A = this chain, B = another copy of it.
Amino acid sequence: MSTVAPPEPEAGTEARRHGGTGPARPRRLALVASKGSLDGAYPPLILAATAASLGWEVGIFFTFYGLDIVNKRKNRRLKVSPVGNPAMPVSVPNLIGALPGMTAAATAMMQGWMKRAKLPTVTEFLDIARESGTKLFACSTTMGVMGVAEQDLVPGVDIAGAAGFLDFAADADVSLFI
C-alpha cells in the first residue's frame, strides 16, 4: 500500500505537547465524510489510512450521503456521475452523460483507474480503518433524515450526533469536511 501511505516514521512518532508542559499524545485527524459517490468516498478513506499509518488517532464521521460508505448494502456499488462534473478526465457532454448507462460507464472507468493506481477498494479501506483503530461514526441526525437504520451499517461503526463529532474534533490537529 505504498502508494497510499508512504511511511514516514519520524512524523509518525512525533507527538504534540499541550503548551509544552503536558504529556505527549499522538496527532489527531477528524474527518467528516458527507459524499456518497465513489470519487467522494476515496479522499476521506485515503487520508484516514495515511494518518493511521503515521501513528495518528483518526475518526471519520459519516453524514448525509456519506452514510452510503458505511451502508453494507450500498458501499460495494458507489457510483461516479458523468453529469454536472465538467472536470471528469474524459469529458462527457451533459446530454450524453444523461443517457442510460453512462453513470455505470463512468463508475467502471474510475474503478479501473483506482485499480491501476493499486488503491484498495472502499470495503478494503474500511477493513484497513478498523484494523488500524480508526473510529467510525454514523451521524445519528442524518440517519433519521436518510432513513438509515443501525442494522444497515457495516460492523464496527458507532452512532454519534454532531456533538460527538465536535467533541472529537475540538482536540484534533486537523479537521476536514469532505
Residues on A lying within 8 angstroms of B by beta carbon are 3-8, 11, 14, 17-22, 27, 29-30, 32, 34-37, 39-40, 42-43, 46-47, 50-51, 53-54, 56, 63-65, 68, 78-89, 93-95, 97-100, 102-103, 107, 110, 113-114, 116-119, 140-142, 144-147, 161-163, 165-167, 169-178
Contacts and interface: CB of A to CB of B under 8 A. Distances in A.
Contact of A146 (B93, B113, B147): B113
B97 A94 contact: yes
Given A21-B19, A170-B174, A86 B94 contact: no
A77 B175 CA distance: 31
A54 B165 CA distance: 12
Query: Quick one: copies of this chain in the complex?
Result: 3
10 closest A-B pairs (Cβ-Cβ)? Answer: A36-B87, A84-B84, A19-B19, A79-B86, A117-B144, A65-B87, A19-B20, A176-B177, A50-B162, A94-B98
A50 B100 CA distance: 41
A103 B94 contact: yes
A167 B86 CA distance: 31
A8 B43 contact: no
Given A18-B19, A116-B144, 18 more contacts: A3-B141, A4-B141, A27-B166, A37-B86, A39-B64, A43-B63, A46-B141, A54-B166, A81-B84, A81-B85, A93-B103, A94-B97, A94-B99, A94-B102, A94-B103, A119-B141, A177-B177, A177-B178
